[in-house]
Amino acid sequence: MDWQALWLSVKLSCFTVVLLIPLAILVGRWLAFRQFKGKSWIEALIMVPLVLPPTVIGYYLLVGLGNQSMIGQWVEQLTGQQLVFHFSGLVIASIIVNIPFAVQPIQRAFETIPIDIRDAAACCGMSRLRIFFRIELPMIWPGVLTAVVLCFSHVLGEFGVVLMLGGNIAGETKTISIAIYDSVQAFDFDSAGMMSLVLLLFAVSALALTTSMSRRLGGHHGASQR
C-alpha cells in the first residue's frame, strides 16, 4: 500500500473541492436563474470534460500550462516554479476536469427552488445577498453535497490527466491511481489489489452516504415547505 500516494490523492481532492465548489455555486446559480442567448453553448462547454478522453484534456493542459505557453512562463517568472510536473498544476487540471461534476448538480438544485419563494422574500424586504444565504443555500445543500462527493471521488481516481500533466514524481504528482498502475506494471498485484479495494470501498461508501443524506435533506425541505 502506497500511503504517500494515497495522502497526495486525498490532498489533491481536498484542494480541488475547496477551490471549485464556491465557483460552481456561483456559476450554477447564474445558469439556473438567467436566460440569455448562447446559454446552451456555455452549458455544452461545461460538459466537455465528460466526453473528451482524459489524454486529450491532458494534452491541451500540457500545452496551455507548459513552460512554452504564456501562462506557464508568467507563473514561472512570478513564482519560480513550473506548473507542469508540479502539484499546483495538478490542482488546476483537477479543477478543470471536474467542472461538470460540480456545476451540474448545483445548477439542478437551484432550478428546483420555486420562483415565488424568492419573490416573496424580496417582497418582505430581504436583500439579494440575504436571500442567497438564508434561503437559497439551505435549499440547495443536497446538490452541493452531491457535487462535493462526486468531485472528491473523481479526483481520487483520475489517471489520464494526472499522468499527462504531472508525470510520476513520488511525493509531488504520484497519486493513488498512478501507484496502482505502477504496481500492475511491476506485477505487484497484491499491492494493486489493496489500493484498488480502498478506492472501491470509498466510492461505494461515499455514494451511499450522499444518497442517504440527500434524501433526508430533501425530505426535510419538503416537509418544511408544506
Q: What per-residue confidence (pLDDT) applies to 21?
A: 96
Give the tens place of pLDDT for each residue, 190-224: 999 999 998 888 888 887 877 776 666 555 555 44
- More confident call, 21 vs 216: 21
* N-terminal to C-terminal alpha carbon distance within the chain: 51
Residue 168 burial by CB count (10 A; 0-12/13-18/19+): exposed, middle or buried?
middle
Mean pLDDT along residues 179-188:
90
Q: What per-residue confidence (pLDDT) applies to 12?
A: 94
Domains of the chain: 3-220 (1.10.3720.10)
d(CA 140, CA 158): 27
C-alpha pair distances (Å), 220 with each of 118, 148, 211, 215, 217: 19, 20, 14, 8, 5
Q: What per-residue confidence (pLDDT) applies to 218?
A: 55
Unique residue bearing C-alpha cell 470501498? 201
- pTM of the entire predicted model: 0.85
| Sequence-distant contacts of 157-161: CB under 8 A, at least 24 apart | 157/199, 157/203, 158/54, 158/94, 158/97, 159/54, 160/53, 160/54, 160/55, 160/57, 160/58, 161/54, 161/55, 161/57, 161/58, 161/61, 161/93, 161/94, 161/97
Confidence of residue 148 (pLDDT cuts 50, 70, 90): very high
Give the tens place of pLDDT for each residue, 73-124: 888 888 888 888 889 889 999 999 999 999 999 999 999 888 888 878 888 8
Give the tens place of pLDDT for each residue, 150-171: 899 899 888 888 888 888 888 8
Average pLDDT, the chain: 86
Q: Which three three-digit cell numbers place residue 164?
A: 499527462
